[in-house]
Amino acid sequence: MSEVTIQVRTAPRDRRFPTTNQTKHCWARYLEFHACSKVKGDDDPECEKFKRWYLSLCPEEWVENWDTLKEEGRFPGPE
Amino acid sequence: MNNILNFYPAVITTDVAENWQIGFQDPATPIMEGIINLHYDLMFFICVISVFVSWMLGRTLWHFEQNQNKIPSSLTHGTLIEMIWTVTPAFILLIIAVPSFSLLYAMDEIISPAITIKTLGHQWYWSYEYSDYLNEDDDSINYDSYMIPEEDLEIGQFRLLEVDNRMVIPINTHIRVIVTAADVLHSWAVPSFRSKCDAIPGRLNQTSLFIKREGVYYGQCSEICGINHGFMPIVVEATSLPNYVSWISNKLNE
Ligand SMILES: [Cu+2]
C-alpha cells in the first residue's frame, strides 16, 4: 500500500460568490487556472492551487467536457 | 465499501423516519436544533391564540344567540376595538419574526469549509465526488450510491432507504456540499441535518453541513424526478475526522 498523505483542505470561500449558486465559482477557478498556467506554466505552485480548487468545485463531467472543448479549440471562454 | 461504523456497533444510531411519526427526527446539526426550538416557541403562540380566539367565538355564539337577542345589534364599527385587534396581531408577528429571521440568516451563513463534497442526482441514484484529494494517478474519489432492493435487504435494514455506498463525512467539521444533477431536477434532502437542496442540471448549489454527532442519517430525493423518484434514497455516515481521513486514504488506494 502506497503512502498518501491526506490534507484536509478545500477551495476557500470566495467573496465574489456569496450566494447558494456556485456555478460561476467553479467556472472562474477553471479560467483562473488556465490564465495562470499560460503565464507561469502548468506545474507552477501558484497555478496548481487553482487547479485543486476547480477540481474541488466542478463536477468531473464538466471538467472533462471543458478539457475536450479546449483540445478541439471550441472552448466557449477566454483561451 | 467498508462502512466504518460496522467496527463500532456501540455508536450506531439510526436517524430515520418512524412509523406514524408526526414530529421531527432527532437533530444532528446546530441549525436543525434551532429549527426545532423555533417550532416549539411558535407552538406556544399558536396555542395561546387558538384558545383565545375559540373562547371569544364560543362566548359570542352563546350570549348573542337569536332567542336571547330578539333585537339585533346595529353596531357596525368601533375605532378603538378595531385598532386593538389590528395592532395586537401585528405586534405578535413582529415578535416572532425576530428569532425566525436570525435563524434564516444563520442557515445561509457559509463558514470557510474544510471539505467539499459534490453530490450529483441521476435518474435514479445519487453519486458522490470527493475531489479535494488525488492519488498518484491523479484520480479522485467518485462513486454511485444505489438503493438496495427489497429482496437483498438484511435484517435490521430499512426498506427503500438503504444504499450500497453511503456518503461518508466527518463530524465537527465545516463541510461544503455542492449539489447538482446530471439529467433532471432532483433534491438532496436529509431531515436530521435540515438539508434540502435542489439539484439542478447545469447549476451548482451550495449548502453547508456541520454535524455534531456520529451516526447514520437517512434522507430521500425530494423533487419529483421520474418513475423511480421514490427509490433513490440518501444515506450519510458521519464519523470522526481520523476515521474519515483513513476512509479517504483507503478509497484513494483502491
Ligand atoms: Cu430524484
Flag residues of chain B having pLDDT under 70: 1-14
pLDDT value at position B72? 81
pLDDT at B15: 83
Whether A36 is covered by a domain: the verdict is yes
Contacts of A12 in chain B (CB under 8 A): 112
Cell output for B117:
463534497
Sequence-distant (≥ 6) Cβ neighbours of residue B227 within 8 angstroms: B124
Residue A77 falls inside a structural domain: no
**A8, B113: Cβ pair inside 8 Å?**
no
Shortest Cα–Cα distance, A67 to chain B (Å): 15
Q: Nearest 5°: phi and psi at B181?
A: -135, 155
For residue A4, the distance in angstroms to the closest alpha carbon of chain B comes to 6
Question: Is B47 a known ligand-binding residue?
Answer: no
CA of B143 to the centre of ligand 1 (A): 17
CB B3 within 8 A of CB B166: yes
Fold of B30-108: Helix Hairpins (1.10.287)
What pLDDT, on the 0 to 100 scale, is given for residue A3?
52
Global pTM? 0.84
Asked if A2 is an interface residue toward chain B (Cβ–Cβ < 8 A), one would say yes
Helix (H, G, I), strand (E, B) or coil at B147: strand
A48 occurs within a structural domain: yes
Ligand 1 centre from B33 Cα, in Å?
27
Range of the domain at A50: 23-72
In chain A, pLDDT over 90 holds for what percent of residues?
A: 49
pLDDT at B18: 81
Element (H, E) at B55: helix B30-63
Calculate the alpha carbon distances from B92 to A66, B49, B85, B107 in Å.
54, 10, 11, 23
CATH 2.60.40.420 placement within chain B: 115-253
CB atoms within 10 A of CB B140: 17
In a domain, A17, yes or no: no
Contacts of B43 (CB under 8 A, 6+ apart): none
pLDDT tens figures, B186-238: 999 999 999 999 999 999 999 999 999 999 999 999 999 999 999 999 999 99
Residue A43: pLDDT band (50, 70, 90) is confident
Q: Is residue A44 part of a domain?
A: yes
CATH class of domain segment(s) B115-253: mainly beta
Contact of A65 with chain B, judged by CB distance below 8 Å, is answered with no
Pick among B111, B112, B116 to test the A interface (most A CBs inside 10 A): B116
Domain assignment of residue A12, yes or no: no
Q: How far is the CA of A74 from the centre of ligand 1 (A)?
A: 32
Domain count, chain A: 1
ipTM: 0.88
**Cβ pair A22:B252 closer than 8 A:** no
Task: Give A5-27 pLDDT, tens digit per residue.
Answer: 778 889 999 889 999 999 999 99
- Report yes or no on A52 lying in a domain: yes
| Angstrom distance (rounded) from CA B229 to CA B220 | 9
Sheet holding B167-170, edge to edge: B14-15, B215-220, B233-239, B167-170
Residue B205 to residue A22: CA distance in whole angstroms = 6
From the candidates B168, B177, B206, B252, which should be mutated to test the interface with A, based on the most A CB atoms within 10 A? B206
CB B131 to CB A56 under 8 A? yes
Question: Cα dist. A66→A69, B179, B199 in Å?
Answer: 5, 19, 21
d(CA B222, CA B218): 12
Question: CA-nearest residue of chain B to A61?
Answer: B182
Quick one: closest CA in B to A62, which residue? B202
Q: Span A63-70, mean pLDDT? A: 94
CB B224 within 8 A of CB B179: no
